[in-house]
Amino acid sequence: MNNPLLVIDNLHVNVEDKPILKGVSLTVNAGEVHALMGPNGSGKSTLSFCLMGHPRYTVTQGSILFKGKPIQDLEPNERAAAGIFLAFQYPTAIPGVTVTNFLRAAMRGVRGADVPVKEFRTTVKTHLKALGVPDSFMNRYVNDGFSGGEKKRLEILQMAVLAPSLAILDETDSGLDIDALKTVASGINALRSAERGMLLITHYQRLLNYITPDFVHVLVDGRVVRSGGADLAHQLEAKGYETFRVPATAGA
């Protein structure tokens, strides 16, 4: 059996001395798609930023192993170079920087070496076509004047080009209409592979109408209180998160 891709063990995280995560444990293997669901304020985004190494989030207890190695002391760029990718809930606009220059700089940063122009163009064109993203994206400034759907499609394009081992998608469905949601979900499904693990962080079940996860975890008050298969998302939709706030279910 292959070693797990990501192992989160009893993770406690503070933000400005306030405890947010209170003992999260989660394992993601290559080829698996995990959905992490929870109400607002439960700690979902905290987990994503902590995994990526945001300096504002302090690990006070527990461990994070990626490909068998601890990553708590790695800088965000080092984690990216190791194969971790984070798609943001609210992607930032970068006026004056074209998508072409941004993607090439990102590839250079992840590889630690320059990317030949021919290879870069071939890689990008392949993924633009596969994801149904128009070529005109490449000449636009990053997220500047983009619609919500365009921002999320650009995030998926970044993931395709950088080819991470672990993709963390923080509420990728946030602010999308139904057509944009279907388009983004299609792109995510196209990037599922036996070599890549995915952690989908979402508030609603609707994204999972188009992406079937292997596992669903419920995060409430900083703890994973229930884990199960894809049907668990439907239980949440029917019963709501309050059902899972019972202390006796913590750690189940």
Per-residue pLDDT of 179-231, as tens digits, reads: 888 988 999 999 999 999 999 999 888 899 999 999 999 999 999 999 999 99
In single-letter form, the type of residue at position 1 comes to: M
Residue-level pLDDT at 246: 54
Distance of CA 143 to the CA centre of its chain: 18
Distance, CA of 46 to CA of 14 (rounded, Å): 9
For the stretch 27-37, pLDDT in tens is 999 999 999 99
**3-state class (DSSP) for residue 251:** coil
Return the minimum-mean-pLDDT range out of 5-9, 44-48, 109-113.
109-113
- Interval 70-83 mean pLDDT: 96
List, in order of start, the domains of the chain with CATH numbers: 6-249 (3.40.50.300)
